[in-house]
């Protein structure tokens, strides 16, 4: 059955306008409610971020106080590292005479008798010397060996074996003379009295210079 609107045209227009106004008001209210919810959410997030920023700032201040309290220990650590490096440099640039003597005892031929040994450290190998790495340590001999043997061949063998010692270089025979022992009634024995010189091998790095530093309070 077809519905017939008996209201006058003016009333129908008025009713339609009122319904449109009601919908507009409802939409406006909905928009206001949504904006209010968004505002509350944003304000809540801002407050949370502000609280987080305040917490981080307080933690940063606490860490800075700890850093300030530990700064003397950082200076001590730096000084300790510097002393360790200096000690390492001194050890690496030291002349190991004890090791040299041990190695010497292993290379002396059986028929060679050492009677004297003199050793000096050249000025270019002292701490603080301005020596150029890789250059000769001195122009004169640093180590002098004196002894005796029965044959010149033993002296040559002794010099060859000295070349096996890493700390020595430029091994040179300075003198080799005959020396007789025994009285007229005894058998005379002739020895070869020899003198051999060598140089100490220079450092691969310049020796460090140690200086006293004021203690960290």
pLDDT in tens, 130-156: 444 444 445 567 899 999 998 888 899
Residue 109 maps to a domain: yes
What percent of the chain stands above pLDDT 70? 73
Residue 215 maps to a domain: no
Average pLDDT over residues 160-171: 89
Please state, as a whole number, how many other Cβ atoms lie within 10 Å of the Cβ of residue 10: 8
Do 42 and 130 belong together in one domain? Answer: no
Residue 208 maps to a domain: no
Beginning with the edge strand found earlier in the chain, give each strand of the sheet holding 168-181 in spatial order. Answer: 113-119, 143-149, 189-200, 168-181
**CATH number, residue 122:** 3.30.70
- Position 195 confidence tier, pLDDT thresholds 50, 70, 90: very high
**What's the burial of 200, exposed, middle or buried (CB within 10 Å: 0-12/13-18/19+)?**
buried
Residue 156 maps to a domain: yes
Residue 160 maps to a domain: yes
Residue 48 maps to a domain: yes
Final residue before a domain boundary, out of 92, 124, 139: 92
Number of domains within the chain: 2
Do 181 and 107 belong together in one domain? Answer: yes
Domain of residue 70: give its range: 11-92
Predicted TM-score (pTM) of the model is: 0.49
Identify the bridge partners of residue 119 per DSSP, sorted by sequence position: 143
> CA 137 to CA 105: how far, in whole Å?
24
Final residue before a domain boundary, out of 40, 70, 92: 92
pLDDT in tens, 45-102: 898 888 889 889 888 888 888 888 888 888 888 888 888 877 776 666 666 778 888 8
């Amino acid at each position: 059955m077809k519905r017939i609107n008996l209201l006058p045209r003016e009333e129908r227009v008025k009713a339609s306008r009122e319904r449109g106004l009601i919908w507009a008001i409802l939409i406006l209210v909905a928009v206001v409610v949504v904006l209010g919810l968004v505002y509350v959410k944003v304000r809540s997030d801002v407050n949370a971020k502000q609280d987080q920023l305040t917490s981080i700032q307080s933690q940063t201040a606490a860490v800075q106080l700890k850093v300030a309290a530990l700064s003397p220990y950082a200076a001590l650590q730096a000084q300790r590292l510097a002393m360790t490096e200096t000690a390492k440099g001194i050890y690496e640039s030291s002349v190991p005479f004890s090791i040299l003597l041990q190695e010497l005892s292993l290379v002396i031929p059986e028929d060679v008798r050492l009677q004297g040994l003199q050793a000096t450290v050249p000025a270019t190998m002292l701490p603080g010397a301005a020596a150029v790495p890789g250059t000769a340590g001195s122009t004169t001999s640093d180590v002098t060996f004196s002894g005796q043997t029965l044959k010149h061949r033993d002296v040559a063998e002794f010099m060859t074996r000295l070349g096996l010692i890493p700390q020595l270089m430029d091994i040179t025979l300075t003198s080799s003379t005959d020396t007789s022992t025994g009285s007229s009634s005894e058998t005379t024995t002739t020895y070869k009295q020899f003198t051999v010189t060598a140089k100490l091998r220079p450092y691969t790095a310049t020796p460090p210079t140690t200086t006293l530093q004021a203690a960290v309070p």
